[in-house]
Amino acid sequence: KIMEKVKPIHRLAKFTYVYQDQPLGDGDAVLKAEKVVGDEPFLVLFGDDIIKNGVHAAHQLIDKFSGEAV
């Protein structure tokens, strides 16, 4: 049931992965992504984000950036 909801989402965004040679933290990962991202808006997402009865912070950031409520 969840996969039915998730499958269409992958068409809405471009996913790019950048790997670190050494685990030097989140800031290092963002710096490594700079060459790929350039001046485009982007999100850094973590698989262990907890969402409890509300709107995910990433959704709030997208709303704020785009100037419209989703």
Phi, psi of 24 (to 5 degrees): -105, 20
And the tokens for 42? 């982007």
pLDDT of amino acid 25: 92
Res 70 pLDDT > 60: no
Q: Which residue has the tokens 């984000």?
A: 49
pTM value? Answer: 0.51
Task: Report pLDDT digits (tens) over 20-46.
Answer: 899 999 999 889 888 888 888 887 777
